[in-house]
Amino acid sequence: MEDLKSKGEAMSLKQMMIRFKRYGGLLVFILIASFLIGLYPLTRQINSYYSKSYMRLLKSFLDEVTRDAVESGQPSFGMVVRRLSEGLVDLATGVDLSGLLSYEKLPSIVPEPRGLFVNGNSTKILIDGGSHILLIEIPVSLLDRMLSAEMAYVFLMASDGTIVACNDLNFQGMRISTRKGFVRMNGTTGFVESEPLEHLSGFVASFIPLRTYFTILLPYLLVAIAALCGDAVWLSLAYSFENRLVVGVNMVLDNINQSLTKLDKTDEVFYVPLETRIAELSQLQAGIQKLIEAQKASWHELHAMMQSLQDTVNELEETQRTLQERNTQIIATLAEAIEIKDANTLGHSDRVVTLALELAKEIGLKDPADLEAIKFGALLHDIGKIGIPEYILNKPGRLTKQEYEVMKLHPIYGEKIIRKISGWDLVADIVRHHHENFDGTGYPDGLKGSQISLRTQIVSIVDVFCALIEERPYRPAMSLEEALKLMQTEMVSTKFDPELFEAFKRVLEKFPRICIAGS
């Protein structure tokens, strides 16, 4: 990955293939261009070699033959030399040859390939012999023997383009243009090039057949074709590879994506590898298959662990419920124990609980911690009475000052008991301060106003109300109206918050039955 990042962004397969093919096409272009560039000088070299060498050879041959004929007058190599008159009459036989021979100026090549005094074809040259004209007749077979015709042909042409001598008899007598270029002669296509003779009215020309070019250029052509074939194979492989790879990769990716999508929903996934002709893709699929199987195994393990955890949670919840029930039972038992000890307050705590919770709802308390604190605070607000002697608790008449001072200790005792229960701080607060007054005249800490928690004020107002409507040894139970009137006139703003009292009255209107003592 580090390497890839350092070299730039990774390429897609398609981009790689486009680049691959682009390089292949460029290589084809370069090969063809190189081939053509190389072909040109080679072809020129072939032309130059055969044209110049063959034509030079023919010219020197002609020069030598005519010089020998003029100087020695002795024919050789089957040549015939005749002396003619100005009127082209053969001096030896007297035969008039003017019908067969003609010239414009001497020396001249006669544009007639058929032999006169030579059997077969001949080249006839008329030259000035002083008092007569010399007719030199050279058998064409002589030229054929002198110059090989394996790779190229050399022509001796009269001024009208008639071939009068050639190293291949098949071209004898034909007429060609003296311009250079490709021509087709006698079933053979080739390149012809000619040049005029210096001392004779006529031309020498060379004709290089295409097969000569092929023969000489064959190694070059083979190498070029091999290179082109190689490049064609490269491109072909690229196209084939592209098809196989892109199609194969797409199919495999689709297959993997489908399997992974299913794996998100269910563990019932089986990855079936696709058959490809690319070994790496098969290996990749095998790896993916192993990963999916491993994923499935992990999924199963996790599922089992979660199930086990859920079971544990359920057990814990069950245990917690049981413990809560026991706590509640214990607390209820404690409250009941207080009520049993203080015979005057039987049923008091339950009543306080009910009304306190209703009042809390009325003023909008919804926090479960507050409600729980109110519930247990209301239930156990007098738990400290356990530490108060029974004679004080159950004294039929008014308590003495000392007795009252002892009695005022019960919120402190209760707070001490409750504080030991972990997480019951709010309950302890209610228990300690449920006898505090709004104007700060309460006990044990003389808190006032907002120093007293709303939870405590709720329990406090309900506790007072319930105490008023309950019978006491030292007085009879008041009616609801009497209790409210008393509270309104003597306790609102001093003992209770007026707003809270108004809310309490609304609660009592809604639930009048709760107000019946002992119900």
Partner 1 sequence: MRLAAFLFVAALVLIVLLVQVELGRFRVLVLDDGRTNFLQGVESYLKDHNLRYDVVTVRTDVDQAELESILRKYQNSYAVGPRLSSEAQRLIPLLEKFKIFAIAPLVTSYRVVGKSSYLMTLSPTDEEQGRQIAERLKVEGCRKVLLVADKLNPVHSETIEESLKRHLSVEQFESRQIETIDELLGEDFNRYDGLVLALDGRKAGIVVQLARKKGFSGTIVGSDYALTDDLTTAGGPAVEGMIVCCLFDFETMLRSRMPDMQIAGAYDAAMIIADLKHNRVSQQDAASYLRGRTFEGVTGRFSVTFDLSASRNLTFVRVKDGRFEIER
103 binds partner 1 (CB under 8 A): no
% helix, strand, coil for the chain, step of 5:
60, 15, 30
Do 493 and 440 touch, CB atoms closer than 8 A?
no
SS3 291: helix
Name residues whose C-beta falls within 8 Å of residue 372's C-beta, 6 or more positions apart in sequence: 426
Whether residue 444 has a cis bond before it, omega within 30° of 0: yes
Q: Which of residues 220-249 bind partner 1 (CB under 8 A)?
A: 221-222, 225-226, 229-230, 232-233, 236
116 binds partner 1 (CB under 8 A): yes
Do 163 and 173 touch, CB atoms closer than 8 A?
yes
Annotated active-site residue 385? The verdict is yes
186 binds partner 1 (CB under 8 A): yes
Total chain residues near partner 1 (CB under 8 A): 40
The single residue among 61, 155, 171, 438 that binds partner 1, judged by CB under 8 A, is 171
The single residue among 123, 172, 194, 457 that binds partner 1, judged by CB under 8 A, is 172
Do 165 and 173 touch, CB atoms closer than 8 A?
no
- Per-residue DSSP letter, 385: G
From the list 216-224, 351-359, 434-442, 466-474, the region that binds partner 1 by CB under 8 A is: 216-224
Q: Which of residues 128-147 bind partner 1 (CB under 8 A)?
A: 140, 144
SS3 343: helix
Q: Give the bridge partners for 191, in sequence order.
A: 182, 208
**Which one, 235 or 486, has the nearer CB to partner 1?**
235
**Which one, 144 or 445, has the nearer CB to partner 1?**
144
The single residue among 11, 13, 42, 210 that binds partner 1, judged by CB under 8 A, is 210
The single residue among 15, 34, 189, 441 that binds partner 1, judged by CB under 8 A, is 189
**Which one, 121 or 453, has the nearer CB to partner 1?**
121
The one catalytic residue in 7, 385, 420, 485 is 385
283 binds partner 1 (CB under 8 A): no
167 binds partner 1 (CB under 8 A): no
**Which of 365, 347, 332 is closest to 456 using CA atoms?**
365
The single residue among 34, 72, 119, 400 that binds partner 1, judged by CB under 8 A, is 119
The single residue among 99, 368, 396, 423 that binds partner 1, judged by CB under 8 A, is 99
Query: What type of residue sits at position 188?
Result: T
Whether residue 107 has a cis bond before it, omega within 30° of 0: yes
Do 267 and 302 touch, CB atoms closer than 8 A?
no
Name residues whose C-beta falls within 8 Å of residue 316's C-beta, 6 or more positions apart in sequence: none
**Which one, 91 or 516, has the nearer CB to partner 1?**
91
Least distance between partner 1 and beta carbon 92 (Å):
7
The single residue among 51, 121, 285, 349 that binds partner 1, judged by CB under 8 A, is 121
Distance of alpha carbon 365 from alpha carbon 459, whole angstroms: 13
| Angle of CA points 317, 318, 319, to nearest 5° | 90
The single residue among 78, 129, 161, 173 that binds partner 1, judged by CB under 8 A, is 173
* Residue 49: other Cβ atoms inside 10 A: 14
120 binds partner 1 (CB under 8 A): yes
113 binds partner 1 (CB under 8 A): yes
Return the half-sphere exposure (C-beta side, CA atoms, 13 A cut-off) of residue 125: 25
Residues of this chain that bind partner 1 (CB under 8 A): 92-100, 113-114, 116-117, 119-121, 140, 144, 169-174, 186-187, 189, 210-211, 214, 218, 221-222, 225-226, 229-230, 232-233, 236
Annotated catalytic residues are: 385
